[in-house]
Amino acid sequence: MSVLIVGAGSMGLVSGYYLQLSNVEVTFLVRSHHKKDLDRPQILYDLSDNTVKHYTGYNYFTDPSQILGRDYDFIIITLDRTGLQSEEGTQLVKTIAKAVKGKSTQIILGTVTIGVRSWLLEVSGISPEKVTNGSLGVMAYPPKSVTLPIYSDDIDRKILAIHSLLMIVQQR
């Protein structure tokens, strides 16, 4: 299985990490100024077992036109509403529409807001059956720094692990 993840922020990286654990080929589409971030392994701190994970083995590109001519089983969009509905985001949506036309690729829209799916369908012309609103159910954020472990002895670790699947700690 092959998945393209649009955006490599906290939600994109965590989604990619878990998909790769299931032997999914993960590719990220990122803006060119984020290329340097993906040139190095991503450091992930897993609250469920208090370990640091190193995420590598993904592919990425920065030019949206590279979507064309490639086959993905899923495209997961993790951009926020502002980025997705910007001029650049609108062009990206139109490129995605061209890329999935006549293919079985499904789109999971991880952008959390009201009305974004209907906007995407209108702008792209993609068939509604191909687009699913998805809530990416992980708690993740990119802190500038953190002291590990992040919990104290008075916090129940099992409860913390249940509510906090994975957070990202980026190298600086």
* CATH number of the structural domain spanning residue 15: 3.40.50.720
Show the tokens assigned to 9: 């922020």
Q: Are strands 42-46 and 167-168 parallel, antiparallel or unpaired?
A: antiparallel
Written as one letter, the residue type at 172 is: R
- pLDDT the model gives residue 111: 84
Are the C-beta atoms of 107 and 130 separated by less than 8 Å?
yes
129: left (phi over 0), alpha (psi -120 to 50) or beta: alpha
> Whole domain around residue 156: which residue ranges?
2-168
CA atoms of 97 and 133, how far apart (whole Å)? 16
Per-residue pLDDT of the chain (172 residues; tens, 9 = 90+): 999 999 998 889 989 999 999 999 999 999 988 888 899 888 887 777 777 888 999 999 999 999 998 999 999 999 999 999 999 999 999 999 999 999 999 999 988 788 899 999 999 999 999 999 887 666 655 556 655 555 555 545 544 443 344 443 333 3
The sign of the torsion formed by the CA atoms of 167, 5, 36, 80 equals negative
Omega of the bond leading into 128 within 30 degrees of 0 (cis): no
pLDDT in tens, 52-67: 888 999 999 999 999 9
Query: How many structural domains are present in the chain?
Result: 1
